[in-house]
Amino acid sequence: MSNTFQTPAREELSVLDLMYVGFNSRVVALDRDTGEIVWDWKSPKGSGFVATLLDKDHVIASVQGYMYCLDALTGEELWSNPLTGMGL
């Protein structure tokens, strides 16, 4: 009998397994258990501060007058919208 312990293979990640951080025109999803980067998205426009909001399986990111919707599990950009007429 072996005394070797193996960590069970981790199943597919869910939104509850991730933390989302916005900084320097980027949104990064981190594995909440390991801190490893799962995905990294950079805004194609604007720079600086990023406001983020998690809505079910979407991450909404606001960067200098643009709103982006990202898939929360993959970081894929689903849509973007310039927030014209919002004082920017």
- Our measurement of the distance from residue 17's CA atom to the centroid of its chain's CA atoms, rounded to an integer in Å, reads 12
Q: Tokens at residue 61, please?
A: 């990111």
- The residue ranges of every structural domain in the chain are 15-81
Q: What gap in Å lies between CA 17 and CA 50, rounded to an integer?
A: 21
Q: pLDDT digits over 24-82, tens only? A: 999 999 999 999 999 999 999 878 899 999 999 999 999 988 999 999 999 999 999 99
* Look-up of token digits 């390991």: 34
pLDDT at 88 over 90: no
Which residue in 14, 13, 21 sits closest to 41, CA to CA? 21
Q: What is the CATH number of domain 15-81?
A: 2.40.10.480
Beta carbons of 55 and 73 less than 8 angstroms apart: no
pTM for this model (two decimals): 0.81
Share of the chain above pLDDT 70, in %: 84
pLDDT in tens, 15-33: 999 999 999 999 999 999 9
